Amino acid sequence: MDITKLFDVAGKTALVTGGSGGIGYMIAEGLARAGCKVFIVSRKVAGITAAAERLSAFGSVTPIAADLGTAEGVAAVAAQVNAGTLNILVNNAGTTWGAPIDEFPREGFEKVLKLNLLAPFELTKSLLPALRAGATAEDPARVINIASIDGLKLPEWESYPYSATKSGLIHMTRHLGKFLAGENISVNAIAPGLFPSKMSDTIVDFSDPDAVAAMASPLGARVGTPEDISGAVLYLSSRAGAWLTGVTIPVGGGRGTVD
């Protein structure tokens, strides 16, 4: 056993969706710092370009502006990435919508469904040529779906499509993991707890210690850090996680263990 290589991902090519901020940015930074060539995808040109410029301080980072909620956006990413090999695909892009059930708009539910569940499936399907090219029996290509603790437990808010799609993503991870294993492609998920992001800013005031304390997990009143999420991604992407598929790792201080 070469313990120095156990979590090594240097030289691999990775793609992270929703990479312009929040958890996606944290993951992209972790992979770039670890020596990966990283593509980051987000809808807004200015945002993804600025993120890539900042991340380039840590390694090779290429921005792709595309709306993954559309077939055209998925096709645009596939056209660029399928020209080479892809070792790691992180399906992180997502959105939420909250409203009382009596007022919940159909368009809100459909928007969340398209980006949180349909887009990861369509992008994974479309990038299979590049994933197959980067896969071997000893070192499978990795698909990592970013779900949520709210896919494992009931949330505190009326965010019906968010929790439903994240729960669906967890089960789809198991389904894809079963059928892609024969092609040396593993599919796993991470279910993050509370991390700072534009999405979570709408429900928690991170500048208020009492608000953060109210979201305390069994491991204490704090929020997730780049090290927390990057560590899980590096585990699943490296030799250390090469014999896993169809699993979901909760990264939320134990919040997935409580109602």
User: Where are the domains positioned within the chain?
Assistant: 3-251
Contact predicate 44/67, CB 8 Å = no
Q: Which residues pair with 103 in a beta bridge?
A: none
Between the alpha carbon of residue 232 and those of residues 56, 173, 196, 212, the distances in Å are: 22, 16, 17, 23
Q: Which CATH superfamily is domain 3-251 in?
A: NAD(P)-binding Rossmann-like Domain (3.40.50.720)
Residue 97 CA to residue 8 CA, distance in Å, equals 38
Comparing CA positions, the residue from 25, 76, 74 lying closest to residue 53 is: 25
Specify the pTM: 0.94
| Lowest mean pLDDT, pick from 42-46, 161-165, 199-203, 234-238 | 199-203
Comparing CA positions, the residue from 97, 104, 90 lying closest to residue 12 is: 90
Buried/exposed 24-39: b ≥16 CB within 10 Å, e otherwise = bbbbbbbbbbbebbbb
Does the pLDDT value for residue 204 go beyond 90? no
Q: Comparing 207 with 142, which gets the higher pLDDT?
A: 142
- Is 235 part of the annotated catalytic residue set? no
Residue 41 CA to residue 15 CA, distance in Å, equals 8
Residue 259 binned pLDDT confidence (cut-offs 50, 70, 90):
low
Active-site hit among 25, 160, 162, 235 = 162
Residue 213 binned pLDDT confidence (cut-offs 50, 70, 90):
low
Report which listed range, 126-140, 194-208, 215-229, is most confident.
Answer: 126-140
Helix residue ranges, H only, the chain: 22-33, 45-55, 71-81, 106-113, 119-126, 128-133, 160-180, 198-201, 209-214, 226-237
Comparing CA positions, the residue from 148, 39, 118, 49 lying closest to residue 84 is: 39
Contact predicate 205/213, CB 8 Å = no
Q: Give Cα 184 distance to the centre of its chain.
A: 20
Residue 148 CA to residue 251 CA, distance in Å, equals 9
Give the phi and the psi of residue 76 in degrees, each rounded to 5: -65, -40
